[in-house]
Chains A and B, each alone.
Chain A
Amino acid sequence: MAKVPVQFTLNGSEKAEFVEGGTTLLHALRDKIGDTSPKGGCHQGTCGACSVIIDGELKLSCLTLAETCGGTDIRTTSGLAEAGVLHPLQRAFLDAFATQCGFCTPGMIMAAKVLLDHTPNPSRDEVVEALSGNICRCTGYEPIIQAVLTAARANSQNAA
């Protein structure tokens, strides 16, 4: 099958790959580039485990074709910590016991990041709405919601 060149930035570094037509961004990130932080849970856009940020917007990488991502800025959970210092969301997820098996966590953090980027001080309802596309099966929604609210508070205190 014909391969297509695609070039984008992943967590600030330039990446270039040849992908087969129809290759998902999830597959390209995980199996070609080696960023396995987005997870494949359903491959049909229902679980949110593959969530990434493309040009500031939350996207499901299992439903995004890699060849459509040329020139974009892609962010994943593996690139969130800076110089080994955890992002406030990562810190809050740790402190609030918002992870159990951890499989949904990178996707949850991406969804929460986009929420806080657009809405720095969200209400609880806004957090619930923002995470509604991400499924957790260890039934940990409450600590996850608390973690996002805690991270929002930490952000606003730092800004003040």
Chain B
Amino acid sequence: MELRKSYFADQRKDGLHEIGQGRPRLDSPGHVTGKTAYFADRNFPNMLHLKMVRSPHHHARIRSIDTSEAEKHPGVVKILTAKDVPHNVYTILILIQIGPEDETVLADGKVRWKGEAVVAVLAETERAAQEAAAKIKVDYEVLPAVFDMEEALKPGAPLVNEYHGQNYYLYDSGECRKVRFGDVEAGFAEADHILEQSYQSSPIEHAPTETTGCVVVPEGNDRFTCYTNTQAMFFTLDNASIILQMPGSKLHFVGGTVGGGFGGKVDVIVEPIAILGAKLTGRPVCFIYSREEEMQISSPRAAEKVVIKDGVMKDGRIVARKVTGYTDAGAYSRHSPYGAQKGAAHYPGPYTIPNVWIDTYCVYTNRTPSSAMRGFGVTIGDFALEVQMDKLARLIGMDPLEFRFINAYRDGDMKAHRQPTEGAALIECMQEASRAADWPVAEKFMAMSSYTKGA
């Protein structure tokens, strides 16, 4: 690997000795010898196995739950329903004051997506837990469901989540996150061309090789040790503390070793119920998602829809951009209000556009709750924006890379969400990309810099 030190040489104290060097990973010796201890490698005597009874419906009222047959099943030790969970309605971002609490640990009177956890069964073996779970009778009254974001926003659509009261997240700015910069209509009036395009994506599953789970051990000192593959240790500890109404000092979380996450293990799903099971039985509890659960139950990346309208001049300048973004949160918030908000700040892209209008909606539907995944909130937006950039370049007959140089943001430019640009390096990256890809651009673009104006 070549390290170009010519860029930003005056901004650096230099001494970059590590970049470009191969350094052994500290965890690799454990990986290659099979000694790395993942949570499921912890095995304890008398450990119970937890299995969930899940909703077969996308949206339904629960009339009754009958656990009597399951209780008699050999090997069953404990069956948990909503009434057993001390603080059953929660939302993970409450830790940073993003409410309301809108999700149940175990369904209480209603299910809002297919696969929602309703009853937890703890048994001596995985097989006994599975068999007993199949004997639990839940009587459902199926309700109309909504799966499309634009349908969900229409008046009269089935209400997905009563804790919100409407099928979108209510920001302090109203029904969507808004960015207003300049005068977008004046920009469109001035533009030589206008291009409006719509981009859509489906949910994406992270599919880590190690499925989500945890092992919980009740300790002699009245604490609980939770071995987990969460990617969000302290979020999980704090939310478990709220859900279980148990001081954090009673919870000892052990983790950091994750068999693939990609953002799919930042929700707080398995730990609280497993800790509760350990507390109520006094025995170690293991709760591991099957591969099917990992694919169907764990949060995917949200489906998104992005509608972009751009005004562009023949000389290559984008003079106006209007974006409406929709993020499909599924039935519950989890990290989606934050993801949609990130999108709002991001949609102008790394480009300086004088007139910008952005609305982004976090929408509730009866689909699997979505959450974090690698750059969520901006990844799909970037796909849409860069396809749009190519289309705009084609529209005005300009080279797509030169078109990006013309619009690239540079230090000092004001971004649409009122953050001045600092430390930009887009131009330098594109110059390197031009060389590396052998995609030449005009000399004036190769002479440009992120921190000086002109050219």
Say whether A76 contacts B209, CB under 8 Å.
Answer: no
What is the bound-complex CA distance between A89 and B31, given in angstroms?
Answer: 12
B209: which of A38, A47, A77 is its contact (CB, 8 Å)?
Answer: A47
Say whether B29 contacts A94, CB under 8 Å.
Answer: yes
- Chain B residues positioned under 8 Å from A16 (CB to CB): none
The residue of chain B having its C-beta at the shortest distance from the C-beta of A147 within the complex is B32
Q: What's the minimum C-beta distance from A139 to chain B, rounded to whole angstroms?
A: 10
The residue of chain A having its C-beta at the shortest distance from the C-beta of B291 within the complex is A42
Say whether B33 contacts A81, CB under 8 Å.
Answer: yes
The residue of chain A having its C-beta at the shortest distance from the C-beta of B259 within the complex is A103
Instruction: Tell me the residues in window 94-144 of chain A with beta carbons closer than 8 Å to chain B beta carbons.
Output: 94-95, 97, 99, 101-106, 109, 135-138
Q: Mark B210-223, 1 if CB is under 8 A from A, else 0.
A: 11000000000000
The residue of chain B having its C-beta at the shortest distance from the C-beta of A37 within the complex is B34
Verify if A31 is at the interface (C-beta below 8 Å from B). yes
Instruction: Tell me the residues in window 64-94 of chain A with beta carbons closer than 8 Å to chain B beta carbons.
Output: 76-78, 80-81, 86, 89-90, 93-94
Verify if B30 is at the interface (C-beta below 8 Å from A). yes
Q: State the main secondary structure of chain B at its contact with A.
A: loop
- Chain B residues positioned under 8 Å from A99 (CB to CB): 25, 27-28, 31-32
Q: What's the minimum C-beta distance from B41 to chain A, rounded to whole angstroms?
A: 4
Say whether A101 contacts B258, CB under 8 Å.
Answer: yes
Say whether A93 contacts B35, CB under 8 Å.
Answer: no
The total of interchain contacts (Cβ-Cβ below 8 angstroms) comes to: 99
Say whether B259 contacts A101, CB under 8 Å.
Answer: yes
Verify if B208 is at the interface (C-beta below 8 Å from A). yes
- Chain B residues positioned under 8 Å from A104 (CB to CB): 209
B291: which of A44, A78, A89 is its contact (CB, 8 Å)?
Answer: A44
Q: What's the minimum C-beta distance from B231 to chain A, rounded to whole angstroms?
A: 11
Instruction: Tell me the residues in window 9-58 of chain B with beta carbons closer than 8 Å to chain A beta carbons.
Output: 22, 24-25, 27-38, 40-41, 43
- Chain B residues positioned under 8 Å from A41 (CB to CB): 209-211, 259, 291
Name A residues whose Cβ lies closer than 8 Å to a Cβ of B: 30-31, 34-44, 47, 49, 76-78, 80-81, 86, 89-90, 93-95, 97, 99, 101-106, 109, 135-138
New contact pairs (19) apart from A97-B28, A135-B209, CB-CB < 8 Å: A31-B43, A34-B43, A36-B40, A39-B210, A41-B291, A42-B291, A47-B291, A76-B34, A78-B35, A93-B31, A94-B28, A99-B27, A99-B32, A101-B209, A101-B261, A104-B209, A105-B32, A105-B34, A137-B209
Name B residues whose Cβ lies closer than 8 Å to a Cβ of A: 22, 24-25, 27-38, 40-41, 43, 206-211, 258-262, 290-291
